[in-house]
Amino acid sequence: MAPQQLQSLEILQASSLELEQRVLQEIAVNPLLELVTPGNEVLESELLPHDERSTREMDAELSAALIEKDENLAEALQGESSADYLDNYVSDLYSSRPDAEAEERRRYFFDSLTSEPTLLDVLEPQIREAAGADEELRDLCLQMVGNLDDAGYLRSSDEELAREFGKTVEQIARAVAVLQSLYPPGLAARSLRECLLLQLEYDNEKGSIAWDIVDRHLEDVARNRLPLIAKEVDADLDEVREAIARIQQLSPRPGQLLVSQSAPVILPDAFIEKNDLGQWTVRLNYEIVPRVVLNDEYLEKLNDASFSTEDKQYIRDKHNAASQLLYAIDQRQSTIGKITEALVVLQREFLEEGTEKMKPLIMATVAEMVGLHEATISRAIANKYVQTPQGLFPFKHFFNTGYTNANDGEEISSRAIKQRLISLINQEDPQKPLSDQALSNCLKKQGLKVARRTIAKYREEENIPAASLRKVH
């Protein structure tokens, strides 16, 4: 497969950040590409007047190349498909091109994705102070910071570290002691138990009920065996609950307290919203798509008699590569738009009323609707998000299996089933939580036959503990 065809596939599947990085790479090697910056004139890309091929010819070349890798993706770069099925749908895909202010916001977003400080950056001043004048100990500690994982744990044994750094086990033990004395407490632990005990010791709680529970009964805590713990540590249930509440205040991942854990910024690739007339519209988010144009100055050189044949051929080659890139970006956006349009039609009730009204949906249905193969749909929605009146969701959120209600024949998605499970569990008696079988029976009364094993699967997917762990003693 030619590089430009492979590029089209990659751009189709790329997230907005990956697309930004790919465009910057292309600009670095192609002088005919320019990234538009705020304040500069925005020019629409005019590919055909300068390109040696028509759109039909470009389509044919790209489709043929895709067949070489996956014949199912050939339709990914075909022209616009019919939208006759959108009788009451108002398309607004391309009416909101970004202005200079929008470009500035887009640029700010990508520029703000800077690298975070590492554990070494944060711990080095503490290590230098703790090691004092002992330069050998200081250097060993600085080296061993690289062996801490992101959570702050030291997974290697003293013997393994001694072999790695060419030191004695005693020297390694001294360095570990220094690392474990740093703030926040719990660093350089080899296990969760040691991590929590280091934190309790730092707070002068050695010998407390919380200490005894961490030291000998962490597994019992995980299994909600509070009566057994109370008997073993010679305390009543209230004291055990209080001690567990104290343990829950400790950090199981102290290393993450040192490094900024800013939540990843997610911007939608498309918006589904209603206009002033109450009609559903789709709007693509051009603010997160790099704004790239062709540099006309280089194209004018093709008419310059002073330029050699080789130089002109170089310009033609770079122009074709630039045209391929701009065309691939345009096709990417078109594909996302068509998929979003289909979701408006197929998941209208969800958009109006929420998760409980989400319908079962498979990619093959959308693929048939928009005239693409389901493999293309899968690639196009990867790592992409859509903003709806119900919230921001990955495109994959809209695709799920489902059930038919025996009472009224209504089709209900698996996500709606999960929502009903959550509601049932939220309403249960905490001292008598519902088992998976009991939950299955409750859904059966609502006309939904969901097996106990499926209930357990959905519960685990929603990170809901089993009934025995939800029970309040």
CA–CA separation, 325 and 32 (whole Å):
11
- Predicted confidence (pLDDT) at residue 62 exceeds the cutoff of 60: no
Q: Is 345 helix (H, G, I), strand (E, B) or coil?
A: helix
Other C-beta atoms closer than 10 Å to the C-beta of 323 total: 22
What distances in angstroms separate CA 28 from CA 17, 25, 64, 261, 321, one per listed residue?
A: 17, 5, 28, 32, 13
Q: Rg of the chain over CA atoms, in angstroms?
A: 30
CA 299 to chain centre: 40
Q: Which two tokens stand for residue 191?
A: 């296990």
How is the chain split into domains, by residue range?
3-110+266-392, 119-257, 401-470
**For 321-375, what is the HEC assignment?**
HHHHHHHHHHHHHHHHHHHHHHHHHHCHHHHHHCHHHCCCECHHHHHHHHCCCHH
CA–CA separation, 224 and 473 (whole Å):
9
Nearest in space to 9 (alpha carbons), one of 76, 54, 68: 76
303 residue type, one letter: N
At 213 the pLDDT is 94
**How many residues comprise the chain?**
473
- Please report the sign of the dihedral spanned by the C-alpha atoms of residue 377, residue 380, residue 384, residue 387: negative
At 80 the pLDDT is 39
CA–CA separation, 404 and 448 (whole Å):
7
235 residue type, one letter: A
Reported as type and span, the H/E element at residue 294 is strand 292-294
pLDDT digits (tens, 9 = 90+) for 94-111: 334 445 555 555 555 555
At 116 the pLDDT is 63
First CA to last CA across the chain, in angstroms? 64
Percent of the chain at pLDDT > 70 equals 79
pLDDT digits (tens, 9 = 90+) for 129-183: 888 889 999 999 999 998 999 889 999 999 999 999 999 999 999 999 999 999 9
At 447 the pLDDT is 86
227-235 average pLDDT score: 91
Q: How confident is the model at residue 83 (pLDDT cuts 50, 70, 90)?
A: very low
Inter-residue contact 377 to 363 (CB < 8 Å): yes
Which CATH architecture fits 401-470? Answer: Orthogonal Bundle (1.10)
Q: How confident is the model at residue 7 (pLDDT cuts 50, 70, 90)?
A: confident
* Cis amide prior to 184 (ω within 30 degrees): yes
Verdict on whether the full-model pTM lies above 0.75: no
- Predicted confidence (pLDDT) at residue 271 exceeds the cutoff of 70: yes
Please tell me which residue, 305 or 84, carries the higher pLDDT value.
Answer: 305
